[in-house]
Amino acid sequence: MVDSLGDLRLDKRLVEALYLLAPGTPLREGIDSIIRAKTGALIVLGDEDEISFLFSGGIRLETEFTPNLLYELAKMDGATILNRGVSRIHWSNVQLMPDATIESSETGTRHRTAERVAKQTDSLCISISQDRDLVSIYVDELKYVLTDIRLLLSEANQALQTLERYRARLDQVADNLTALEFEDAVTLHDVVGVIQRYEMVARVATEVERYLIELGVEGRLIAMQLEEMLTGVARDRAALLKDYLPGKGPSLEVAESRIAAMTADGLFDPEAVAKVLGYRRKAKTAEVRMAPRGYRILANIPRLPVGVITRIVEQMGTLKAVMLADEDQLVAVEGVGRVRAREIAEGLVQMRELALAEKYSFR
């Protein structure tokens, strides 16, 4: 059972429903017309063969779905039955007879019927209040009331502001890690701290994305800001994990999924994160020295293909070895010619100077 509104928005079943009802969709257009007319409605999306045993009476239509037709049919008392893809209207004015022994917390007849039908079948039920501008969605045991667009925009903007602060902090700790890597002074604690920040950014971004689903076309500006804030985050996070995952530890995909599955308390425990990454030493994370392989640093050199980066790391082993390599050693790597070798060497020197200058300019 989902306990909070935040968790509820993350439920996959509800997310699929919100896609269908987002502003700009044909179904939402019809629902908005029903709300304005204050007629109320009960709409069921499902496989006709699986829910027909609940039908009593009704008019069989089998016609193409249009927002205006849905609005007109809602003027009748019974339920309107649509297919899952919202492309056809099967029935209208249907009296639904769900199992009365199914527990329901609703008091209104329409809402109680919608809740019981959703629990008894695999259908998506939508109940629109006649007197109040409320749209309630029922999926299995879940209930969700659509949020007013203005309030939703306000909440989404607040989440976006939180994400902006988290991204700024991520950039700070990532820049500090870069300086430590060039100084050959990285500890497991430093690495875990950056991984924690990446995950915090990812979780807030997921929350914003869920708002965007419900906002539909109304969330276009927020979507553009979100895309800009997340530029390079997934790439750098993957490169960081590839830099520091132990040789006999989990794969990149497994490590990412394990981190994503951690509770908030676990994520803020450095020892717990280190264990998820595959480090099982008893020593504290601040005492374990680390040597980066170089994926993340090399990924920031312009026009350096991923395949070339992989071959450089596989041949050199560590970032320190890449830094110490001469031009001939770099050229020996497949895909690295003389020009690219010089670009790599110059790029590493520039990044090192910039990282150290930024680190020590604040002291």
Q: Which residue has the higher pLDDT, 284 or 58?
A: 58
257-276, pLDDT tens digit by residue? 999 999 999 999 999 999 99
Q: Specify the CATH superfamily of domain 147-291.
A: DNA integrity scanning linker region (1.20.1260.110)
DSSP letters of 210-224? HHHHHHGGGGHHHHH
* CATH architecture designation of domain 5-146: 3-Layer(aba) Sandwich (3.40)
For residues 41 and 136, the answer to whether their CB atoms sit within 8 Å is no
- Closest to 126 (Cα-Cα) out of 169, 79, 162: 79
For residues 89 and 73, the answer to whether their CB atoms sit within 8 Å is yes
2-13, pLDDT tens digit by residue? 444 455 666 788
Residue ranges covered by each domain of the chain: 5-146, 147-291, 293-363
d(CA 116, CA 110): 10
> Using H for helix, E for strand and C for coil, what is the string for 164-228?
HHHHHHHHHHHHHHHHHHHCCCEEHHHHHHHHHHHHHHHHHHHHHHHHHHHHHHHHHHHHHHHHH
Joined tokens for residue 164: 């902006």
For residues 22 and 215, the answer to whether their CB atoms sit within 8 Å is yes
Residue 248 has pLDDT above 90, yes or no: no
Q: Specify the CATH superfamily of domain 293-363.
A: 5' to 3' exonuclease, C-terminal subdomain (1.10.150.20)
25-80, pLDDT tens digit by residue? 999 999 999 999 999 999 999 999 899 999 999 999 999 999 999 999 999 989 99
d(CA 239, CA 312): 14
Residue 337 has pLDDT above 80, yes or no: yes
Residue 359 has pLDDT above 80, yes or no: no
- Closest to 226 (Cα-Cα) out of 304, 289, 234: 234
Strand (E) or helix (H) holding 5: helix 5-9
Provide the pLDDT confidence category of residue 358 given band limits of 50, 70 and 90. confident
Percentage above 90 pLDDT, the chain: 85
120-150, pLDDT tens digit by residue? 999 999 999 988 889 999 999 999 999 889 9
Percentage above 70 pLDDT, the chain: 96
pLDDT value of position 311: 96
| Model confidence, pTM | 0.83
For residues 260 and 289, the answer to whether their CB atoms sit within 8 Å is no
The number of residues in the chain equals: 363
d(CA 222, CA 220): 5
